[in-house]
Structure 1
Amino acid sequence: MATSPPIETVTTDVLIIGAGAAGLRTSIELAEKGIDCLVLGKRDHGDAHTIWAAGGINASLGSLDPEDRWEIHAADTFNEGHLVNDATAVELLCQRAPERIRELDAWGIDFNRTDDGTINQRYFGAQSFRRTCFVGDRTGKALMETLVQKAMTLNVPYRQNLYITDLVVDDGRATGAVGFDMETGRPVAFDADAVVIAAGGHTSLFRRSSSRPDENTGDAQALAFRAGVSLRDMEFVQFHPTGKVHPEEEAGHLVTEAVRGEGGRLYNAEGERFMERYSPNQMELDARDVVARAIEQEVREGRGTENDAVLLDISHRDDAYIHERLPRMVEEFAEQGVDITKEPMEVAPTAHYAMGGIEVNFETGQTAVDGLYAVGECTTGVHGANRLGGNSLVETIVFGQITGQHIAETLSTRPHTPLSEAQVREYVAAQDHLAASEGTHTPEEIMTHLRNLMWDHAGILRNEDSLLTGLHQLQQLQEAARDLDVQADRTTLRYENAQNVRSMLITAETILRGALERTESRGAHARTDYPDKDPAWKQNIRCVPTGNGGMDVAIHAVDAPSAPVQRAIDEEHELDYHHLE
């Protein structure tokens, strides 16, 4: 392979890696305060994973349930997170969510309305009140369109189809990043006074995932880890109860929780409404981990369909109501020949969301590396052991605003550190080396084996023997990845996958090590050899980089909620599912 073309160098005050809702909201805050920033995306601008979030976005507005308040929203978030959440993160999220929702409303998002014109809110799993605002079942898409339009009015610059391979850290300070243009193949170096990682999660590490196969491959987490930042709570991966089963190319794609929020019912292949056995009070709207494990149990005990799935039925609702509230689901299943107003959908659990990720100070967005920030799903702390449905979208806009504001207020106090030319040349040479590699194993082969490994050994149900087997197989894959066969330039999918493999192997190891360390079942982490929650494990697990690819595991206690939130927890609010009947 020929060496790379000349390196393009770009200078900006703030570099934002990730062009979804978290990155865009950060950029909007910076632009409104007159700070020069640049947003980078791996795909066309506006085509971010945010658009796949369908069901809604949480805030204690009290449109339908005026007794709701932010402290109860926080209590629900802690309870769903099994009390290992970051207390500061949860309380900031729930306090500021209403303001951010009203801001979106003012910016033109087309929220569904009640008869009196207020923002409508729907039930969502494990929530005590109706607090999930929505735009039909395309809330994420509507949010992205609103943020893109707002950023355009502020002339926020962006680069699309740009892949970041490495962060540049000089004497403990982030000074920029190195990547390549996916259309031209040209390597690009970015010189910045602050860098924000907003590049999503890592659920594409699993065989069945609600992500596109080339998204959420752990890029953000691996970038931070290689830069010296710890990853925390990586064992907590949320498996959404309802993913598509077919067609094959869409297996795992999300069937929104809004279907159950609007009264959808789950049945096994024998026609039993099986959630009555597992959660007679909250039924289909219990926590996602509870419903996902129930489905897994039904399938393991032989009551699933021939596709190892169950049936989700909304057909008892009025046809017009279904078309109004779930238009995207109606359309998508109609393309498969399924009329959801008359027949059930076949669904099975799918890897959906990463609760674990990059450690940050949520009051600032700052990581342990000076000048390096992180926002959104790539971080950890808000959701604890399991994410409350509807909290992911609001996390992006709450902490995007907070992080952008902090950077804007402190940037002028930071001395500029020029980008290290030696480090840039080293990273570009590594790109050249990867592109030219003539080995035995293709990136696609490694990715397929890794996804099967993670589903089989770190999936919905885990145990020590399986996790140890998974770690052993991962070590074999790590060795195989040193002998990659790429022989492709930077504009190819083969080369992109080779870069993805770098990230996926690091992130997978942190998940397996965290899951092996946590000898209990808590939230989305379910161990058949330790089936009970252990009060002694109300702690967080950190994977700490030791240099040269090594990692240590450390444990630390969680902070307690504030007194007002603890009172709300003690009040034991709970959804009465039967309002929907």
Structure 2
Amino acid sequence: MSYYAEGGIERHQYDVVVVGAGGAGLRAAIAAHEAGANTAIVCKSLLGKAHTVMAEGGIAAAMGNRWPEDNWEVHFRDTMRGGKMLNNWRMAQLHAQEAPERVLELEDWGALFDRTDDGLISQRDFGGHRYARLAHVGDRTGLEMIRTLQQRAVQIGIDVFMECTVTDLLQDRSSGEGRMAGVFAYWRETGRFVVIDAPAVILATGGIGKSFKVTSNSWEYTGDGHALALRAGAKLINMEFVQFHPTGMVWPPSVKGLLVTESVRGDGGILKNSEGKRFMFDYIPDFFKAETADTEEEADRWYDDKKNNRRPPELLPRDEVARAINSEIKAGRGSEHGGIYLDIASRRTPEFIRKRLPSMYHQFKELADVDITAEPMEIGPTCHYVMGGVEVDADSQESAVTGLYAAGEVSGGMHGSNRLGGNSLSDLLVFGRRAGESAAAYVAGLGEARPAVSDEDLRAGQWSAVAPFSVDGGENPYSIQHDLQQKMNDLVGIIRTEAELAQALEEIEQLKVRAKSMSVDGHRQYNPGWHLALDLRNMLLVSEAIAKAALARQESRGGHTRDDFPGPNPEWGAKNLVVSLADDGESVMLNPQPLPPMPDDLKKFFD
């Protein structure tokens, strides 16, 4: 049902509204719809343009098609070890157990996976995974996944609000509980406001990468879901852990940071410095020495027969590889344009590369005039993924706010301090489905007693959104965004120190003051400056959460590296840092929280 409320606000009613149309959002919407809930999807850009398409390598699932020895227990262990044991063990367990079924489900819905000689779904090697377990479609797996889920959602008739941005979560405050009641949004094309009444809201908004200058993330990734959840009363965990993907393009400048899939290394690519040395053998951590080849001959033999299963060091977890690359660059052994070299041309035939890595071949050929079948790529670390997100119940994905759920990159806990490649896509499928089913079950239990939104909250949503138009001669949003990205890149990047993090927090406070006097010109139609002004509120809040948590965690673990605390600390390894909104509604506060204890039947995998 839709109608126009007072003030010309377009209004709709649903049981479940999903914010975000990537893999998690689409899978959640499908699950909620199939459970009987009247469901809608709201997406910031066009349907099918989600950042999930950038996940090229594959979907991690212990199907055992290439290695019969693989099973969910090994996948669970790999995930926990990759996250340096800071993962929510229950989420890691559910993920490992349910991922194979979710992949087969995609196949049933029409996904066309690459095949083994026996006709099974092919699985490739990836960093941190003991066995080859990534189901893939060349190096375009994310695109195939989005295509399949999008087609399924359209086929079953789920309503989609495209190019529509959510600015506030609406809550029923009449009982003092603050239950979810819907979302306040606007159409990006016209600037007209729209309210979607729904007792269950699922956040699937992705990450925070646009707070950094060099990132693989697309323009939508401004931390919207993280900030919306905070303002509604939910909590975030693990925000200090930001993953810098080891391999992003460094040349030409126009594409700096664009992702170079881990599949290049999974299919035989090696890393070299400017001296031509294959340097990763110098950076194998003790934790992985028993499983990692320590000579070039042994690593090459692994690619040929894989019988000893000692992986090349290029397939260490992403945090280890990123730090090694960063060390080589800082030591003066970087490439001409400030990266290092990724070479697959000397390892594989041109036919193999074009077949297995078609997107990478065309990406470098068209954007950098580099033929990866004949010469190495120049790559370097790029901000790629945030392990931190909304604290949720592992089984239901519900946050601390009744009726508010989160799935995918916007949720926290699953990946601990570092995500293994390929786990993102299976994470989207497993917990997207769980969030959708849980939200539908919650709504079904409400009966006729649905939460309601007050007129006062609607007016507040309007005034907050149009505030930048009421300021004359104020700050340009683009200047604030530029300064924020530069400060986060310089001070809260891959290697951190106490002094730089403290400076970052001071700079963010100054940017928040400047943001209060942001002004935009013109009207609400086709106004990208206005869109950015609204996004900046979220970017500043989330950036503060990252910097404050990074300053507090005095150790190096996973995606968080402190130069002044170079090693992991067992005391810090037993707790999360929980971020919540301070009483002023504009800043964040931190509280340590012990990790949930792992049951003995799972501890045995780490003995």
Q: 2:603 — aligned with what? A: 566
Name the SS for the 1:535 alignment partner: coil
Residues 320-350 of structure 1: CA distance to partner in whole angstroms, max 9, x if unpaired? Answer: 1111110000111111221111100110100
- Give yes or no for contact 2:45–2:163 (8 Å, CA) kept in 1: yes
Name the SS for the 2:597 alignment partner: coil
2:369 equivalent to 1:337: yes
Residues 451-471 of structure 1: CA distance to partner in whole angstroms, max 9, x if unpaired? Answer: 111111111100101101111
2:488 to 454, 460, 476: 454
Equivalent residue runs for 1:224-235 within 5 Å? 224-235=229-240
1:427 to 446, 454, 461: 461
Q: 1:137 — aligned with what? A: 139
CA distance in 1, matches of 2:165, 2:469: 14
Greater Cα shift, 197-206 or 277-286: 277-286
Q: 1:99 — aligned with what? A: 101
Name the SS for the 1:311 alignment partner: strand
Q: 2:17 — aligned with what? A: 15
2:323 to 285, 293, 297: 293
- Give yes or no for contact 1:436–1:487 (8 Å, CA) kept in 2: no
Q: CA deviation at 1:160?
A: 0.2
Q: 2:561 — aligned with what? A: 526
Q: 2:306 — aligned with what? A: none
2:212 equivalent to 1:175: no
2:224 equivalent to 1:219: yes
Greater Cα shift, 326-335 or 479-488: 479-488
Query: Letter of the aligned partner of 1:404 in structure 2?
Result: G
Q: 2:471 — aligned with what? A: 437
Greater Cα shift, 434-443 or 549-558: 434-443
Q: CA deviation at 1:407?
A: 2.0
1:475 to 504, 509, 514: 509
Structure 1 length normalisation: TM-score?
A: 0.96
- Give yes or no for contact 1:14–1:36 (8 Å, CA) kept in 2: yes
Q: CA deviation at 1:437?
A: 2.6
Q: CA deviation at 1:15?
A: 0.9
Q: CA deviation at 1:33?
A: 2.1
- Give yes or no for contact 1:177–1:189 (8 Å, CA) kept in 2: yes
Equivalent residue runs for 1:377-396 within 5 Å? 377-396=409-428
Name the SS for the 2:202 alignment partner: strand
- Give yes or no for contact 1:72–1:569 (8 Å, CA) kept in 2: no
Greater Cα shift, 432-441 or 384-393: 432-441
Shift of the 488–541 alpha-carbon distance from structure 1 to 2, 3 Å rule, reads: farther
2:333 equivalent to 1:303: yes
CA distance in 2, matches of 1:439, 1:543: 34
Equivalent residue runs for 1:178-577 within 5 Å? 178-212=184-218, 214-279=219-284, 281=294, 282-315=312-345, 316-335=347-366, 336-414=368-446, 415-490=449-524, 491-538=526-573, 539-547=575-583, 548-570=585-607
Q: CA deviation at 1:488?
A: 3.7
Q: CA deviation at 1:564?
A: 4.0
Query: Letter of the aligned partner of 1:361 in structure 2?
Result: D
Q: CA deviation at 1:562?
A: 3.6
- Give yes or no for contact 1:267–1:310 (8 Å, CA) kept in 2: yes
Q: Which runs of 4+ in 1 moved over 4 A?
A: none
Query: Letter of the aligned partner of 2:413 in structure 1?
Result: G
CA distance in 1, matches of 2:348, 2:436: 43
Q: Give the CA RMSD over aligned residues.
A: 1.3
CA distance in 2, matches of 1:100, 1:207: 35
Greater Cα shift, 510-519 or 269-278: 269-278
Equivalent residue runs for 1:10-159 within 5 Å? 10-159=12-161
- Give yes or no for contact 2:544–2:588 (8 Å, CA) kept in 1: no
Query: Letter of the aligned partner of 1:524 in structure 2?
Result: G
- Give yes or no for contact 2:405–2:439 (8 Å, CA) kept in 1: no
Q: CA deviation at 1:189?
A: 1.1
Shift of the 361–274 alpha-carbon distance from structure 1 to 2, 3 Å rule, reads: same
Name the SS for the 2:166 alignment partner: strand
Q: CA deviation at 1:557?
A: 1.2
Query: Letter of the aligned partner of 1:225 in structure 2?
Result: L
Name the SS for the 1:462 alignment partner: coil
CA distance in 2, matches of 1:93, 1:439: 51
Query: Letter of the aligned partner of 1:444 in structure 2?
Result: Y
- Give yes or no for contact 1:237–1:355 (8 Å, CA) kept in 2: yes
- Give yes or no for contact 1:75–1:566 (8 Å, CA) kept in 2: no
CA distance in 2, matches of 1:329, 1:564: 42
Q: CA deviation at 1:119?
A: 0.6
CA distance in 1, matches of 2:277, 2:463: 60
- Give yes or no for contact 1:5–1:187 (8 Å, CA) kept in 2: no
Name the SS for the 1:435 alignment partner: helix
CA distance in 2, matches of 1:65, 1:569: 21
- Give yes or no for contact 1:488–1:495 (8 Å, CA) kept in 2: no
Query: Letter of the aligned partner of 2:374 in structure 1?
Result: K
- Give yes or no for contact 2:16–2:440 (8 Å, CA) kept in 1: no
Name the SS for the 1:68 alignment partner: coil
- Give yes or no for contact 2:233–2:581 (8 Å, CA) kept in 1: yes
CA distance in 2, matches of 1:5, 1:134: 50
Name the SS for the 1:200 alignment partner: coil
Query: Letter of the aligned partner of 1:144 in structure 2?
Result: I
Q: CA deviation at 1:494?
A: 0.6
Q: CA deviation at 1:156?
A: 0.8
Name the SS for the 2:274 alignment partner: coil
Query: Letter of the aligned partner of 1:553 in structure 2?
Result: L
Name the SS for the 1:290 alignment partner: helix
Greater Cα shift, 162-171 or 143-152: 162-171
Structure 2 length normalisation: TM-score?
A: 0.91
Residues 178-228 of structure 1: CA distance to partner in whole angstroms, max 9, x if unpaired? Answer: 11000111011111111111100111111100012x221111100001111
- Give yes or no for contact 1:60–1:98 (8 Å, CA) kept in 2: yes
CA distance in 2, matches of 1:62, 1:174: 42
Q: CA deviation at 1:138?
A: 0.6
CA distance in 2, matches of 1:278, 1:149: 44
CA distance in 2, matches of 1:51, 1:160: 17
CA distance in 2, matches of 1:244, 1:112: 26
CA distance in 1, matches of 2:268, 2:7: 57
Name the SS for the 2:147 alignment partner: helix
CA distance in 1, matches of 2:42, 2:386: 22
5+ residue gaps, structure 1, are: 571-581
CA distance in 2, matches of 1:369, 1:488: 37
5+ residue gaps, structure 2, are: 1-5, 285-292, 295-311
